[in-house]
Amino acid sequence: MRQLLSGSGQSVQSEEECSSDTGYSIHGSSDSDSRPQEGHCPSPIQALVPDILACIFMFAIPKGDFDLAVNWNRNAPHNVVAVCRYWRAVALSHTMLWAVIRLRGIHPHDCFDRRPFPWNQFYYLLQRSDEAPLDLSIDQFDLTDKDYVELTSFFSTHQHRCKHIHIDCDANVQSSHDFSTEKAIELTNIPLLESLHIHWNKNIPQVQIHLKYVPSLTALDLSGRFSLHLEGAVTLKLIHITLSTMCLVSPHECLMLLRICPALVSFSAEICLDLDTKGHDDVFSYICNPGLTTFKVLVNKLSVLQYILQPLHFPTLKDLTIMIPEDEGETDALGISALISRSSAPIESLHLHATVSEEIIQCLELLPGLEDLTVDTYIEEPNSTQSDFVTRLDLRREDALCPKLKSIALVDFMLFDCTDEVISMVTSRWDRDIEEGSRTLQRVSFTDCDLDDISDLDRCREEGLILEVEREYDSARDSDYNEDPGLESYEYKYTGYDSFEENDSDGAFYEDYN
């Protein structure tokens, strides 16, 4: 426990050290001391040894975000040192109590309430933490030139101490500063780092992130205009990778990450750059990630998707999400069904966006054990309609697809003339399940599918089925919009991908890059 609570290997300072800082010794006594005196009946907490007491203080430190600039004295460990001199001595002797640094630079409820970042508080905590491993969280960060200099200066001096780095520059805040030069974050000697999370304001120009010697890094989460440079990396221990919101990672770099991170469990990336293999000697013919269970990728070109999927092999994949632009989906041989067939993985969740009908059917034929299906923007082919797809999910058919589905979500379908097929599909699964003694189907969702009257499914809803029909306008599609547009209380949230939230349009990502 002594090594756990002390960042410098010494859990309790010497009596002289504590006396010089606080005027009180941990093991000494004074008239005003709250430590138990001989002949007195102390409370149980007063009898705790310093290491146990410090452990309690550690549990009192807030785990989530908090506005330290406002509540400076209201959170542990700052309120602890004000209780009594003995507690103060214990707190100051355990440097790990001060190594959890969470600061906020902008008001949490008003992004226009500008404040200078509290660097004085930052260095106050840094000094008290001594050499303890740092858990650093900087939220609502408005990066000015001064802040950038302070941040890079801190990294150049103390990066070897960082265990967790979380920097969040609020995406809703317009940066108050124009950057004349490209910025860079150099993390070249950071042996303790386990997680790196940086969410940058998308209005800030490109920032280069250089990573070198990160033997302990297991989680990488970048969001913003970043270019990632892995210098001298042969094999990394990364388990979770998330690259989103215009992160400037090329298709080649994406495959390189997959190849040098064999321990990956989840990989999620938005790849906005076009395919360019010039100057690359690496040829990716086979990449296997034996432990990867979640793979999500959004691309801006069909050729990029084909290039990325071609060498991949995920034998334990459970959650697969593929998203491409709608105008790119009208082409065969996307490579999704080939990846599924090649991996022979027990996929439980499949989310496809803007995919041609034949590719969707081929994927589902390979996944009899699929439990969660989301199809967004079904692209018809001459020999296959959206109605045909719905009927293939009807369990009354001999060639029905995916009999074990628990959740079905259809988005942006044209089903206004397929009401009977939809009702038949849902009831076939709901009624069949109860006949077999248990129900598998739990949720059915239709978003912007032009469904009018599905009151025949009210019985299923009353019996416990979660049935969601979300649409922008009510069923009176021909109503007079000038008099009564019939706008429902409807907010579309793209649940398949973290960056598409709060009414962002599906094409927002592509418009920024095309």
**What is the H or E stretch that residue 420 is in?**
helix 419-435
Per the structure block, which two tokens stand in for 432? Answer: 């069949």
Distance between CA atoms of 411 and 353, rounded to whole angstroms? 9
Per the structure block, which two tokens stand in for 33? Answer: 């001391």
Contact 68, 121 (CB under 8 A): yes
DSSP 435-492: HTTS----EEEEES------GGGHHHHHTT-EEEEE-SB-S-TTS-TTT---B-S---
Q: CA–CA distance from 340 to each of 262, 317, 330 (Å)?
A: 19, 9, 20
Distance between CA atoms of 280 and 491, rounded to whole angstroms? 44
Sign of the alpha-carbon dihedral angle for 6, 9, 10, 11:
positive
Distance between CA atoms of 291 and 314, rounded to whole angstroms? 8
Phi, then psi, of 491 in degrees rounded to 5: -130, 120
pLDDT of residue 428: 92
Q: What is the pLDDT along the chain (514 residues), one digit of tens a residue?
A: 434 443 433 333 433 344 444 444 444 444 444 455 555 556 777 778 889 988 988 888 877 655 544 565 677 888 888 888 888 899 999 999 899 888 877 554 555 555 677 888 889 889 999 999 999 988 776 666 677 788 888 998 999 999 999 988 754 444 445 555 667 888 888 999 999 998 877 666 677 888 888 899 999 999 888 888 887 767 899 999 999 876 778 888 899 999 999 999 999 999 877 776 555 556 788 999 999 999 999 988 888 888 999 999 999 999 999 998 766 544 555 789 999 999 999 999 999 998 888 889 999 999 999 999 999 988 777 777 888 899 999 999 999 999 999 999 999 988 888 899 999 999 999 987 565 667 789 999 999 988 878 889 999 999 999 999 987 654 444 444 334 333 333 333 333 333 433 334 333 443 343 3
Q: Domain map of the chain by residue range?
A: 1-98
Per the structure block, which two tokens stand in for 247? Answer: 């992160």
pLDDT of residue 223: 86
| Three-state SS at 390 | helix
**Sheet of 207-211, strand order:** 183-187, 207-211, 226-230
Distance between CA atoms of 486 and 54, rounded to whole angstroms? 60
pLDDT of residue 103: 81
pLDDT of residue 184: 81
Distance between CA atoms of 273 and 405, rounded to whole angstroms? 35
Per the structure block, which two tokens stand in for 80? Answer: 């602890």
pLDDT of residue 24: 47
Per the structure block, which two tokens stand in for 369? Answer: 């054990």
Confidence (pTM): 0.79
Distance between CA atoms of 70 and 103, rounded to whole angstroms? 10
